[in-house]
Structure 1
């Protein structure tokens, strides 16, 4: 973008920030973050220009109402997990909501298609899966697919496969989100058909207890992976005041930070699927009288869901309301508390 166009596009905003003060801490933070972004762009493309000094002066003025971070005893890793990652998600909550609603909609399509056409369900699921499950149901062991003699090998295989699929979803954002959306479609159509298959055989609530013990972490982690992919897509299609390449680099960086949180989530989900889901499935095996208690399964499912909602939705909002903000360089700042 030429300097004249950059100034014309943003001059009115800068003048307002310079001459019109605000007592609202959220608006002050928003102004400061916006100016930092504009300043970064100006320093990159017009380092010796007067407009760069102008923006810097406005930002410095606003900075007087914001205090610098005190040196914390927390390590960088602790700060990343407690502040940086949740605040990063706050920045992309709209994309997260869009992805969640899209995936719910596609799951409903998979359910509806399976309910209206048996061939749809068979085509959506892996070859022979429906027949195998129906045989297990007839034998009184409906969730026999989750039983495996070599549990550790299964645990490693599931964790690696899920992480790889999630990584492809993230990288798919480079292709304008096409591959990301294709992966979302395939996985969610399969999920809808898979869940309907058990409800069709009057095993719906049992399947929720068995499948969603690990599925809560696993499926919602895939939603987060798809969100990361669409963040990259947004950085390409809507660069804002940045050059497209600079915006793309920022999108990649943010998406890879999000990918970091998926690794432990997939490891935990794989552990639950291999060891805990196996025990839960035995509770519905007519030939056996032992397994994981129902209340324990409900507790694990509820704890998993509560953690995900708290960490990715509630905590980012709470940090934002307390005045924390994430600068473009990853530094955490906090507004001074206003006296009532």
Structure 2
């Protein structure tokens, strides 16, 4: 392409970007980010095909201004960890709400399939959960303690073992994204099948409420963050399938980094879930009101941090940017 044609094709977006970084024009952050990516691509193109040209000098200058604008006055917070959890991650995660919805749909669909299968085939539960677990649970049900299995082992040992295993599952769901979203989808689907079969097993034995009261004490956070970890894997997997304006390699690196940030965010919640399972779930005979309070408080915590708080920050930032 001739230099003049290259300039005519792209000058409008260059001018818009220049006005934006000099505060003469307000652009939506997503549009501004798109322009910046396109600018760096145009700069690379000009370096290859128009060396020593005025176009290259202009794009170099514009890219330098943008870099200084972004990083020149950037100050690291004195408490980097606190700022990550309080603002950085929620602001970042907002863009992946749709991906989280897809992870949720996969998991819920699989749970429904597991439940239906368990209702129509009694052997399905044994296939999914194993004979030893099913036999032990049946024996506990006959004793009037359907979730007595959670009382086994020491509190500290159970807490550590459960937490480590849950974190392992989360990172597995993320890591399987390296073979595209199909890999993470498989992890979400298999865990959903297991949950559906597990809860339906208690239903067929007539102890669903008693079991749910105990299982969802820790399961509310545990299942929620497994879905969020699945979202992390889908982010990485989708970066391979849908690179957009990036090269596939650059897209994958960005997706892997973003996914890792998401899965790391789940670690404190897995610790909370492990603590509840190790120290609280074993007291299955607690008052129903207390159990329901813990369950709904856990659900509210997850919904607030991963859904409502990011939306609030997004709207707050938009109000500051546009003044409306």
1:126, distance to aligned residue in structure 2 (A)? 2.4
Change (3 A) 1:99 1:260: same
Which residue, 304, 323, 326 being the options, matches 2:317?
Answer: 323
Q: Which runs of 5+ in 2 are unaligned?
A: none
Alignment partner of 1:114 is 2:118: yes
TM-score, scaled relative to structure 1: 0.80
Contact 1:170 1:225 in 2 (8 A): yes
Q: Which runs of 5+ in 1 are unaligned?
A: 284-291, 325-333
Which residue, 127, 130, 150 being the options, matches 1:126?
Answer: 130
Alignment partner of 1:191 is 2:195: yes
Aligned length: 312
- Structure 1 stretch 158-167 or stretch 32-41: which is displaced more? 32-41
SS of alignment partner, residue 237 of structure 2: helix
**Counterpart of 1:203?**
207
Alignment partner of 1:34 is 2:38: no
**Counterpart of 2:89?**
85
Question: 2:36 and 2:102 mapped to 1: Cα distance?
Answer: 27
Alignment partner of 1:336 is 2:321: yes
RMSD over equivalenced CA pairs, Å: 3.4
1:192, distance to aligned residue in structure 2 (A)? 0.2
**Counterpart of 1:137?**
141
**Counterpart of 2:289?**
295
Q: C-alpha offsets along residues 32-90 of structure 1, whole Å, 9 cap, x if unaligned?
A: 122233345456676676379449749969x99x9x97868662212211121112211
1:137, distance to aligned residue in structure 2 (A)? 0.8
Question: 2:179 and 2:139 mapped to 1: Cα distance?
Answer: 41
Compare the two structures and name the one with the higher helix fraction: 2
**Counterpart of 1:146?**
150
Contact 1:136 1:142 in 2 (8 A): yes
1:304, distance to aligned residue in structure 2 (A)? 0.9
**Counterpart of 2:302?**
308
Contact 1:42 1:52 in 2 (8 A): no
Note the 1:157-176 alignment, pairs <5 A. 157-176=161-180
- Structure 1 stretch 128-137 or stretch 48-57: which is displaced more? 48-57
Question: 1:247 and 1:52 mapped to 2: Cα distance?
Answer: 28
**Counterpart of 1:265?**
269
Note the 1:5-24 alignment, pairs <5 A. 11=10, 14=13, 17=16
